[in-house]
Structure 1
């Protein structure tokens, strides 16, 4: 499952309660980092054309470097996705990547500006995000070894339930969807 991401996202009404619970469980927070994610549309395939967006190309700049990432969410046409193919790599010269994308006619779609703080517990990474113009969220991502997507999802659900913390509504779309005003 090296290139497969299994995660769940929720709105977060009380970040302090979740932080306290994570600390009780022995999780250590990383330093918060600002991430600016520029999303692009491909010239050969319009990512926004389907009723349900299932693909994103992103260039991220943050305090400690830059990366490029492509995600294809599955099932492709479903509103609620179960997992994503994810291909990500560090970038040494982010401006060269931007110029490369422009030269190939990739067009900017939306920029997501967020502050992220990650916490890690055994097989789960918990990230608290404050997204400019969108609000506060928490993402739970399965990071352990699993037999398949179903196994990883079951274990992630068990972890979330074990926290016994009131989370907001589950969010079945990415931050670009929210900022673009897309339902799915």
Structure 2
């Protein structure tokens, strides 16, 4: 079975509207803004913060999925194996899965909420997924550019993402996840108390 990898770069941005306009002018199509509620868990016998893995329950409206993200294997871009499985709709289903994970020894880490507008752009034969994210707790806007790639295509995917990013005036990628940014912010707030 061939592994598919998620190759992505994330950037802090100041003006999401102008970036969206640039992308639409290049033919990107946009979805409506949706709220993502991600609940992250840590493994009972290994620290995902150390292994750079992730296990989350994501809710978008009534739709739910559970996602495992393998350790990052990329250099500049965040490249990792990802498995995502949908499950029953609604908050009762997420509550039951949270309870099951807890009974299995998984520890709840933190919830991350973001507002996301996803744009799809086909350019140079590549199908990019570009997300404009507002993370209210961070008071910051971000742009994520993602491609899915097979094992032998990871380097080309990273190159294509960098090319698109630079064409939008983006040069400095943010390597930390929203979860890590929030945990660092929380830790800094606790230390300042």
Normalization by structure 2: what TM-score? 0.82
| Partner residue, 1:23 | 24
* d(CA) in 2 for partners of 1:146, 1:54: 19
Contact kept in structure 2, 1:119 and 1:125, CA below 8 Å? yes
Cα offsets for 1:73-111 (capped at 9, x unmatched):
3339x7x55410101111212222111101111111111
Give the match for residue 157 of structure 1.
Answer: 162
Q: What SS is found at the alignment partner of 1:166?
A: coil
For residue 175 of structure 1, the aligned residue among 174, 178, 185 is 178
Residue 79 of structure 2: aligned partner: 83
**2:191 — aligned with what?**
none
* CA RMSD in angstroms, aligned pairs only: 2.2
Answer with 81-90 or 127-136: which moved more: 81-90
- Corresponding residue for 1:13? 14
What's the offset of the Cα at 1:28? 1.5
User: Which TM-score applies when normalising by structure 1?
Assistant: 0.86
Moved more, 26-35 or 149-158: 149-158
Residue 33 of structure 1 is matched in structure 2 by: 34
- State whether residues 5 and 149 of structure 2, in contact with CA within 8 Å, keep that contact through their aligned partners in structure 1: no
Residue-pair matches, total: 175
Query: Does structure 1 retain, via aligned residues, the 8 Å contact 2:40–2:55?
Result: yes
Q: Is the 8 A contact 1:73 1:81 kept in 2?
A: no
Structure number having the greater helix percentage: 2
TM superposition shift of 1:168? 7.0
Q: Work out whether residues 39 and 57 of structure 2, in 8 Å CA contact, stay in contact via their aligned partners in 1.
A: yes
Tell me if 1:139 matches 2:139: no
Which blocks of at least 5 consecutive residues in structure 2 are unaligned?
186-193
Conservation of the 8 A alpha-carbon contact between 1:112 and 1:132:
no
Question: What residue is the counterpart of 2:114 in the other structure?
Answer: 114
Q: What are the ranges of 5 or more consecutive residues in structure 1 without an aligned counterpart?
A: none
Query: 2: CA distance between counterparts of 1:104 and 1:138?
Result: 35
